[in-house]
Structure formats: C-alpha cells, structure tokens
Structure 1
Amino acid sequence: MLLEVVARSGLSQEDFANSVGYPAARFGRVLTGRTRISPDLAHAVAQRYKIDPLDLLIRQNRTALATIAADRDHNAFTTTSAPAVRRQPVCRDVDASAINVVRAVITKTGLSNSRFAVTLGYDPTIISKILNGHQPITPALADSISRRYGIDASDLLARQARWQLAAVAERNTSTRPAAAPPG
C-alpha cells in the first residue's frame, strides 16, 4: 500500500520521504521490507496523502503474520508446537488495549508474568517491557500468543496499532505551537 501511495504521488522515494519528514535512507528500508512502518511514519503519510494510517499498519501486520505462518508451515516437518490451551475469547472488551488483552490472558491462565513468558518461549524481561509499555508486541509474539492461548493475533496487533496511532496524534497535537493571540 505504501508503494502505491509513493507511486501515486509522482515523487521519487527520496522526495516522498522528505515530504513526510522522514529520513530517506530509513524510508528506503521500509519500502524494501527490512524495517517496519512505524506509527509515526504511518501518521505522517496519512496526514500528507489522505490515507488511513490504521489500514497501513494493519496490512503490514497481516503480511508479517502470513510470513510467520508460511515459515512455520515450511518448517512443520521438523518442529511440533503445543496445542492451544484455550479457544474462548479472553477479553470481550472491544476498547481494551493490546496490553490489557495480554494481561487478561495472563490472569486467566493463573501464571506469573515470568511463567507466561516461558510458555511462549520468550525471555520474561521482554514480556515485562511489553506490559509496562516500553516495547511493542511483535507479530511473532502475537502469533505465539495466538497459537498457545487462542487469541486472534491480527486483533491483538490492530489494538496495539490503534493505541500507537492515538499516542502519535496526541503527541503531535500537544507539540504544535499555539496560535498567536489576535493582535
């Protein structure tokens, strides 16, 4: 989708990056898939080119999850995964953040945060950073939570993207200079 927006703009990749205030080298890595689209970039592109930033991030997440699934299917003959423990919704609150959904899963399982991390094959420090808002949930982690605990990985990542975009919009609103008082 981002490549389509760049093509429709008629600008070179470098000029496009400059038009949204993003470093050209980093933008090139985004377009080649080596770097993920950040919420800041999605917001900047949306403001300048009138697209839905959430759609941009959701498409990126779906692509990442599809790649993870394809890799898992490709390697299925050498590995086995544990079956999901639960398949019922853990958090029915449509406004709950991704972090609150993960917290609800942990509460439902009765596991400590550290033990929960271990069941997913992750370092407990990573889960701690996520729960404290210092690190985002990666598509790989969302996939692991989905497979082990029956949570929809796409929904989890979409919740996170909505929250991230709201934070970017709020930050951009609060950092804009106030209008000059009438003279």
Structure 2
Amino acid sequence: MTQLLCEEFNVPSLIIANSAVLTTLASCRTTALVVDCGGGSTIVTPVVHCRSLAQAVISSPVAGEVLTDCLTRRLENNGQLLKIGRKATETITRGNLLVQSRKNCADSLKLHITEIDGIENAENIASHTGLTEMVINCINKCEGCHHAELYSNILLTGGPTSEPQLKERLQKDVQ
C-alpha cells in the first residue's frame, strides 16, 4: 500500500498512527483515556505520554449497529416499522447502555431483546460490560501513577458519544 501511494500517486511521505494517540494529540494532551464508540464496537484505550498501552485496551462488540440489528429484527417480526427500531436503539444507547452498570444495562436490554427469534447473540449482548465498567477496568490495568491523570482526561469520540451530557454522566459514574 505504501509503495503504491508513493510510486503511483507521488505521495512524498506517509505516517501510520494509532487513532487513540491522534485523538489525544488533537486535544492538546499527551495522556488521556480515549473512548471510541462506533457502529461496530466500543473501544477504550489508555494513552500515556503519546503511547497507546495495548495491554490495557478494552473492547466490546456492543455498539450502534448490533443494537439496531437486534431491535430491528424484533420489530420486523412483530410487524412494526424499521424507523421505530432505530429510534428505540438510540434511546437505549443514550439512556442506558453506555453509562449504567453491568446489572442495570443487562436488565434494560433484556426488557427489549427477550423473545427475539433467530438472534443467537441476544443474551450475549446483555451480558457485556457497560461503558462505566470498561473505563474503570481499563484504568485499573494501567500503572497506579497514571490513574489520576487518566480519570481526569477522558476523551469521547464516535457518533454515540455526541449525546448531550454523556461526558458528565460518565465522569460522575467513574468517580
């Protein structure tokens, strides 16, 4: 790929970097905890002195697309509209999944995904760790001298993180 870019498209130089490190640098920091919530996964990455700590990265497959798919299938089985499924997914993601503890998250999802025909991983979704626990577990995997700085520098990135007051709720839950 690099050779193709340099030889065919005359790209003078190329840098390949970790997105969590770039997010940290873009916020004018060198140490931060980057929470990247996307359509396919949620990844929590600690960055200390511009280096990602790979041994402490925590990932969860529970993200926007998975929830949308589960709820959409359920609603389609019941003859409901697809539009309602997406709205319900947004409500669950915004209000419950991202910030509540594992038990509350699981209970909330079970209310919405029980009796889903043909979805093999519906129970697995409810059993995944919530965002608050992911953040705490990730920080605890790092050396103790970095804990305070990571707790005070949590960066949210990705579509679901643009939800109003998510950062404030997350900070309240992890303290």
TM range (shorter): under 0.3
User: Comparing both structures, which one devotes a greater share of its residues to helix?
Assistant: 1
Q: Structure 1-normalised TM-score?
A: 0.27
